[in-house]
Structure 1
Amino acid sequence: MISHAGTIPLILLLAAAPSAARANDSTYTDFDTDHCKTLSPEDAEGGGISLQCKGLMDYAVYYKEGDLRQSILYGHVNQAYIDGVFESFGPFNHAGRKIEWRIGPDGKPVATILRWFIENADPATGEPAPKLKGQVLVVSKVAGEDGKGCVAGYVDALANPDPNILARQIADTKTGGFICGKDKADFTGVRGPRAADPTRYFPE
């Protein structure tokens, strides 16, 4: 006869495991720069502009563009970061229009994933070439109480078979302990030749 005396604690442990290891959830919002609050007027000469756009709940999207390059921050961003941070790519680029927000167990967004399109130049002409265009998933930390949000990682969307899975892994495991302005965001997975070098600037 088999004793079942030790099975109850094991059953309870197994029942609790899915809850303890539950992954973050995703929700999506549209990124629409046509309905945003202007923070600084467009620079007619340099083409720069700074906007505050609708995000998720009370977590805003802060958009900047300058010299045909874009930078985006998310969440409760402090004024120094709104004014001074610019994270982008070396070549001309633009962001996609669908933001994936990763939601923590407390219901608050902890990270975002957004696809960027990189206008790589043809070495022979120096002009952007459609055949060389890159796509990178940019994973960003959403600013919370400290007011600091930033890019925490990158995934080459053309060189990896499941780039969204890799991006969600970065969002769920790296952004929580990522220190903006100190830690360096790197590529995860395979990085191909069309994933251009990132650029970053933070205020002192």
Structure 2
Amino acid sequence: MSELQIITASLLAVSLLGGNAVAGQEAGLGSVYTRIDQDCSTTQLPDEPVYETVCPGHDGWSIHILSGEHGAAAAYISPDGTRSDTVYAPMRGLYGGFHTVLEWRLERGEAFATIHRYVHHNPPELLDTMYDVEEPNTLIVTALAAEGGYTVCPVAHIDASALPDANTLARDVADRMSRGWDCGNEVVSFDADLESVDAYLSAVRIK
């Protein structure tokens, strides 16, 4: 990705993700943004999932989007060529897919987590029977440097439909929880009942 494309993606992400694009820079933390609809290659597969799209990420990372009839999942390739396990979105809709902008959280320029919005789609006829919201949004926080080095796994699912400042919460989760995250842990769900990282960490300490 060229410098101009990164700047353009960053400016777009500021508007799409609610501003605060460089949160935490005073502590050596910050964000860069890449896109999954530019400079990518797509291959049609013989069976489900139907398509695999490979996009360049930050500093040697790449992301592989696996798309099928009902949704999408992702895998990451580290700079040394190691492919991660597949990262799935929570089941909140019959259909769905990833937003085009992918946020990379950095410490002194090195990526340690990503934040990617997943938009779920529910046909109106299924509302009030199977699902409550037509297009719920989930921010998926994925650790890139969990326990064991480049072990990639999801840390949290954040209900961006219910939480008014979900983008800031997602960055807080990435910054405070993803480094050293144990991939054997269950993915943490942040919704209206669990609005802050402090609330979660306090509950964990009590247990």
Q: TM-score range by the shorter chain?
A: 0.5 to 0.7
Q: Helix, strand or coil: the match of 2:55?
A: strand
Amino acid at match of 1:174: M
Tell me the equivalent position of 1:62: 64
Tell me the equivalent position of 1:179: 182
Identity of aligned residues (%): 22
How far is the alpha carbon of 1:190 from its aligned partner?
A: 1.5
Q: Report whether the alignment pairs 1:165 with 2:168.
A: yes
Amino acid at match of 2:161: L
Deviations 1:104-142 (A, max 9, x none): 13x20111111110113544697999x621011111112
Deviations 1:138-171 (A, max 9, x none): 1111258844212111211121121111000111
Tell me the equivalent position of 2:31: 26
1:132-143, aligned counterparts within 5 Å?
132-142=134-144
Sort the Cα spacing of 1:62 and 1:124 in 2 relative to 1 into closer, same or farther, 3 A: closer
How far is the alpha carbon of 1:185 from its aligned partner?
A: 1.1
Q: Helix, strand or coil: the match of 1:170?
A: helix
Amino acid at match of 1:35: C
Tell me the equivalent position of 2:5: none
Q: 2:75 aligns with which of 73, 76, 83?
A: 73
How far is the alpha carbon of 1:22 from its aligned partner?
A: 1.3
- RMSD value over aligned CA atoms? 3.2
1:70-149, aligned counterparts within 5 Å?
70-76=72-78, 78-79=82-83, 81=84, 85-90=86-91, 91=93, 92-105=95-108, 107-121=109-123, 122-123=125-126, 132-142=134-144, 146-149=149-152
Q: Helix, strand or coil: the match of 1:171?
A: helix
Matched pairs, number: 164
Q: Which residues of structure 2 form unaligned runs of 5+? A: 1-23, 195-207
How far is the alpha carbon of 1:89 from its aligned partner?
A: 3.0
Tell me the equivalent position of 1:199: none
Amino acid at match of 2:27: R
How far is the alpha carbon of 1:36 from its aligned partner?
A: 2.0
1:28-47, aligned counterparts within 5 Å?
28-32=33-37, 35-36=40-41, 38=43, 41-43=44-46, 46-47=48-49
How far is the alpha carbon of 1:46 from its aligned partner?
A: 3.5
Amino acid at match of 2:55: C
Alignment partners' CA distance in 1, 2:113 and 2:77: 9
Q: Which residues of structure 1 form unaligned runs of 5+? A: 1-18, 193-204
Sort the Cα spacing of 1:183 and 1:152 in 2 relative to 1 into closer, same or farther, 3 A: same
Q: Report whether the alignment pairs 1:155 with 2:158.
A: yes
Of 47-56 and 154-163, deviating more is 47-56
Q: Helix, strand or coil: the match of 2:89?
A: strand
Q: Which has the higher contact order (CA 8 A, sep 6+)?
A: 1
Structure having the higher Rg: 1
